[in-house]
Amino acid sequence: MRQSQLFTKTRREAPADETSKNAELLIRGGYIHKEMAGVYSYLPFGLIVIKKIENIIREEMNAIGGIEMKTSVLQNKEVWEKTNRWDDSVVDNWFKTKLKNGAEVGLSFTNEEAYSNILKQYVNSYKDLPIYPYDFKEIFRNEARSKSGIMRGREFYWKALYSFSKNEAEHNVFYEKAKIAYKNIFERAGIGGLTYVTFSSGGTFSKFSHEFQTVTEAGEDIIYIDEKSKIAINKEVFTDDVVESLGLKKEELIEKKAVEVGNIFTLGTKFSEPFDLKYKNEKGENEMVFMGSYGIGLGRLMGTIVELLSDDKGIVWPEAVAPFKYHLIEITSNKPEVKEWAEKIYKKLGADNVLYDDRDLRAGEKFADAELLGMPTQIIVSEKNIASGKLEIKDRKTGEVKMILEDEI
Ligand code: ATP
Ligand code: MG
């Protein structure tokens, strides 16, 4: 992409009311726009990052049998009354509105009811199971506080998968596969080394749920990490009994602040019972479907990457989620050969891979923008380089500069 075509501009300062590092850097880079507290628009580059994250998640979900669909945001009150989760005194973070005829509708704050209600129409026999539908979706929650930038939105984009299995044993097999898929996702997104499978409160059907907690000062949770086994315990379930039951030693655990980037949960029959979601087994008897849920917040993941992978100059994107792999910087010159060379490299590497700074600006401004925007590799084309026939390649992360021939890129 040519930078001259972009309408967003970088800014020296983030809005005064923005206190989180992730939103500050992303606003300054023109990745996102703050509409109000907890509500952000994704501008062109922000959207590319979200789509790259989405693709990583999609590949990993499809690899374990996930089937993508899209559930509606507007939700039917009657469906939620089945689980007693419509009432504001039970769920306090609903956004609700009314149709012209006065009927109430809600904006999805989660998906269990919608999925159970849809699947009720299709699941009859043991032959129909197991199934693993999922979607990417806008979720709305009237969060009491939203001071963590895109890590805690009142409107946010997530992936939620629900597993529908014949029984607990079948569920457990998928649950372990999902754990591995989640590890792959966070690894590929560049935060694997700081992300820990964390034992957390589980509800009625299992002792624990598993959160994927990434260590960062920007996190709102406290976890206790065992570095040897790479597992952690959330403060909310941190007791001597739990430590012992997991075979850990309390004195070896390290307390850290962390953010929950994803979680997986055994739901059992909590939702299949109220929806009467059952199937006929091989003997022709009715059995309840056994469910699990698997969530990831894409904005939260993007914000976490920025919190961890940034420095005093700006963002340092890991290659897998960077909007562009290369930032091609043409140092403005009155020699037409400079532009010609830059154009040639741009065409060769391809518009999807390169952000080409073809603007008529001072070199210092271009360099500062490149550091803030954070593409992994900068390629600098200048009059000086033409003389030597070599390009200047700068690694955004290490700052290391190399001179290489064009063919070596
Ligand atoms: P938290 O404990 O942080 O409030 P949660 O346990 O309520 O999150 P879930 O309902 O399980 O979260 O949602 C699944 C995933 O969606 C979370 O693991 C997180 O990555 C993401 N998520 C939840 N709330 C938000 C939010 N307000 N903004 C952005 N992402 C969110
Ligand atoms: Mg949670």
Dihedral, 179, 84, 207, 233 alpha carbons, nearest 10: 70
Closest CA to 25 of 4, 39, 46, 44: 46
Please report the pLDDT score of residue 309 as a whole number: 98
CA of 262 from ligand 1 middle (Å) equals: 7
CA of 41 from ligand 1 middle (Å) equals: 18
Rounded to 5 degrees, φ, ψ at 273 are -60, -55
Ligand 1: nearest atom to the Cα of 153: 28
Closest ligand to the CA of 137 = 1
Q: Which of 108, 115, 155, 158 to mutate to test the pocket of ligand 1 (most atoms within 8 A of CB)?
A: 158
Give yes or no for residue 297 CB within 6 A of ligand 1.
yes
Ligand 1: nearest atom to the Cα of 259: 3
Please report the pLDDT score of residue 409 as a whole number: 82
Closest ligand to the CA of 201 = 2
What averages of pLDDT result for each successive group of 10 residues across the chain (409 residues)?
95 90 98 96 98 98 98 98 97 97 97 98 98 98 94 98 98 98 98 98 90 98 96 97 96 98 97 98 98 98 98 97 98 90 96 96 96 98 90 97 91
pLDDT digits (tens, 9 = 90+) for 118-167: 999 999 999 999 999 999 999 999 999 889 999 999 999 999 999 999 99
CA of 149 from ligand 1 middle (Å) equals: 13
Q: Is 321 helix (H, G, I), strand (E, B) or coil?
A: coil
Give yes or no for residue 186 CB within 6 A of ligand 1.
no
CA of 181 from ligand 2 middle (Å) equals: 19
Please report the pLDDT score of residue 332 as a whole number: 83
Give yes or no for residue 37 CB within 6 A of ligand 1.
no
CA of 260 from ligand 2 middle (Å) equals: 7
CA of 43 from ligand 2 middle (Å) equals: 28
Rounded to 5 degrees, φ, ψ at 155 are -125, 125
Take residue 62 and report the two structure tokens written for it: 């499809």
Please report the pLDDT score of residue 111 as a whole number: 97
CA of 204 from ligand 2 middle (Å) equals: 16
Ligand 1: nearest atom to the Cα of 146: 27
Give yes or no for residue 153 CB within 6 A of ligand 1.
yes
Distance CA 324, CA 48 (A): 9
Take residue 104 and report the two structure tokens written for it: 């109430």
DSSP assignment of 264-315 equals: EEEEETTTTTTTT-EEE-TTS-EEE-EEEEEEEEHHHHHHHHHHHSEETTEE
* 362 Rama class: left (phi>0) / alpha (psi -120 to 50) / beta: beta
Q: Which of 300, 304, 306 to mutate to test the pocket of ligand 1 (most atoms within 8 A of CB)?
A: 300
CA of 297 from ligand 1 middle (Å) equals: 6
Give yes or no for residue 261 CB within 6 A of ligand 1.
yes
pLDDT digits (tens, 9 = 90+) for 274-321: 999 999 999 999 999 999 999 999 999 999 999 999 999 999 999 999
Please report the pLDDT score of residue 73 as a whole number: 98
β-sheet bridge partners, residue 139 = 156
Helices (H) and strands (E) in the chain, counts: 10, 23
Give yes or no for residue 152 CB within 6 A of ligand 1.
yes
CA of 407 from ligand 1 middle (Å) equals: 46
Give yes or no for residue 178 CB within 6 A of ligand 1.
no
Give yes or no for residue 260 CB within 6 A of ligand 1.
yes
Residue 285: Cβ within 10 Å count = 9
Decide: 233 and 246 in contact? Cβ < 8 Å.
yes
Ligand 1: nearest atom to the Cα of 260: 18
Q: What is the largest CA-CA distance in the chain?
A: 83
Residue nearest to atom 16 of ligand 1 (CA): 297
Closest ligand to the CA of 152 = 1
Decide: 166 and 130 in contact? Cβ < 8 Å.
yes
Distance CA 235, CA 115 (A): 31
Please report the pLDDT score of residue 112 as a whole number: 97
